[in-house]
Amino acid sequence: MKKLTADQSKKNSSDYNPLFYDRNVIQVMILASSLIVFSMLLIGFLSYYFTEKEVIKKLKEKELLFIAQSISSKVEEQIDRAIETSTLLADDPSMMEWVQGREQNDKLTQNAKDKLRMIVNPSGYDNSFVVSSLTNHYWGEKGTILETMSKDKKDNDWFFQRLANSEKVVVVVDYNGARQQSFVFVNVLMGDLNHPVGVAGVGLSLKGLSDDMAAYKYSSNSQMWMVDSAGIVHLSDDYTHTGHNLKEIVSGELQHQVMDNFKQGLQVMESHTPSGDKVDVISYPIQSMNMRLLFQIPRNDTVYYLRNIKLNTAVAIVISILSIIFFFFYVSRKLANPYQRALRLNQELEFQVGERTKELATINSELLDSIGYAQRIQKSVMPDSEELAQLLPNHFVIWRPRDEVGGDFYWLKKAERGYFLAVGDCTGHGVPGAFMTMLCISHLNQIVDSGSLEGNPAEILSRLNRQIKETLRQQHQDEWADDGLDLALCYVEGSELVFAGGRSSIFVTDVNKDLQIYNGDRRSLGYRRTPTDYLYKNQHIQIDEHTRVYMATDGIFDQNGGDKGLSFGKSRLKHFIIAHANTPLIEQEVLFRKQLAEFQGNESQRDDMLLLAFQPVKADGRT
């Protein structure tokens, strides 16, 4: 009977599962592990996304332009030198006298031959020539008559057409199929432009420039071409392309983009290769030759090093997941032995508490690091101090997110004639609010970059309202999501400020230090209750060098404090502005921070805070 009881006790103890007892611990471990993995995925994705955008932006705005300008200047330099040499030859008094004397003077003839030879050998030109309209003799670089020009010969048409054209200098690019290379000829009229006595000039092959172009290659897969208005390639880093039509080398999409905009200025475009790979292309005009320089870089070559970031992030996530799984099963197995747990429970209790505390501290540290990284990302999409100082030399900004990152943001965008400045308050705090700010800033940049909206902030607000609703799928009243923002948007140009707002106001002081409040429309942007087709209104304000503008979010007004715990309110901000109307803005920032801190006292910050003050017109009267 006693033995049976022991066996039964053993069986019961073996059926005991300590994992059930520690289910809460396991749930916490799974939740924490999930948060870590999610944070790593999110940070990796955002880092790659924003880095890729900045790399491509830098390539299009700086690197492509620099390479195109470098190659173009090298081509233009050779053409300018050839024009200068040809002009000196055509205007040479002895050459003029020789041609006008119908080439009869032996001394002048020898002098002309020497000059034709001397131009070619040390200067690197392929040929030099003088063609007389009096004798029709074509004198070449070897000092001999190559032929006598005749109107009956089609190949001589260029000479007689050149004599009929009173333009002093003409640059001609001609592809020679027999030599499989292109030549540049500079033809300069001799004597009176209306009755020239001849044509003089030099010719040079473009083949030597192919090696120079190859030196500027961005990568092994990048390509360069110089094409004329007919699409013929006259110069390329791959010399086998010379003489071919552009449509035989690139995709039809890119060929049409280039030729349809041939007479336009600088063009930066995206296209695809015949195999479908995305490429970035700059089309740069070479005015002296009526040609365009094309420089093409595969998108994969531009962002190739970002693949390492993606790979390293994936490896780190896999290692983290494996480590978490290993740790989970290890701890589970240790806790699954009831005998060992019973014997060591008292001894290990304090140790386990310490270890779990460390584990939670590590998780907390990683989460704080993630939030800190998110803060750096959010700051990177807002204008830095240098950008603000460039357009707003006299300003101050107080930006205080409640949770390191938040839903308040400010935005500055230089336009063609003026600039835009906005202060926004998005739904939420912390990381969700920060995501909303990046979404709104991205849409604002996209809307303004689309063009034709300069000086019309109301239309920008209307479009932003529609795009936010479409992005968050809030077009209908029955949708579950209801996120948006309050926004004050100003456009400054000359002596006028145009303001439009959605549940936002601006405070403006003038030369008499009088304060005027301009209220925006009562509808916020993006929320379900705001109609998709809602039209915001512009308010036009005359400004001068004494004007100051203050823009703030409701986090300033709603902050409670003081002896009675009341809100800060708009009235205190108005009194502050009036009381310090003669104080420079840089000193106002210090004074306002002090007043706000004294008012808040020991009260916790309730909401994200943002106050931006600026003087839209500089002391010299410029914006």
pTM tops 0.85, yes or no: no
> What tens digit of pLDDT does each residue of 588-605 get?
999 999 999 999 999 999
Max intra-chain CA distance, the chain: 145
Residue 441 pLDDT > 60, yes or no?
yes
What pLDDT was estimated at residue 19? 43
**Mind giving me the DSSP string for 571-617?**
HHHHHHHHHTTTS-HHHHHHHHHHHHHHHHTTPPP-S-EEEEEE-SS
Class of domain 92-207: alpha beta
Structure tokens at 100: 């006008």
- Which tokens is 167 given? 């333009």
**498-527, pLDDT tens digit by residue?**
999 999 999 999 988 899 999 999 999 999
Kindly report the number of other CB atoms within 10 A of residue 441's CB atom: 21
Task: Report pLDDT for 11.
Answer: 45
Distance CA 224, CA 295 (A): 5
Which of the given ranges, 68-72, 132-136, 314-318, has the highest pLDDT on average?
A: 132-136
Q: How far apart are CA 425 and CA 470, in angstroms?
A: 19
In the chain, what are the domain boundaries?
92-207, 382-554+578-593+602-614
Report whether pLDDT(5) > 50: no
Residues 523, 474 contacting (CB under 8 angstroms):
no
At the topology level, CATH places domain 382-554+578-593+602-614 in: Phosphatase 2c; domain 1 (3.60.40)
Q: Residue 433's pLDDT band (boundaries 50, 70, 90)?
A: very high
Same fold, 92-207 and 382-554+578-593+602-614: no
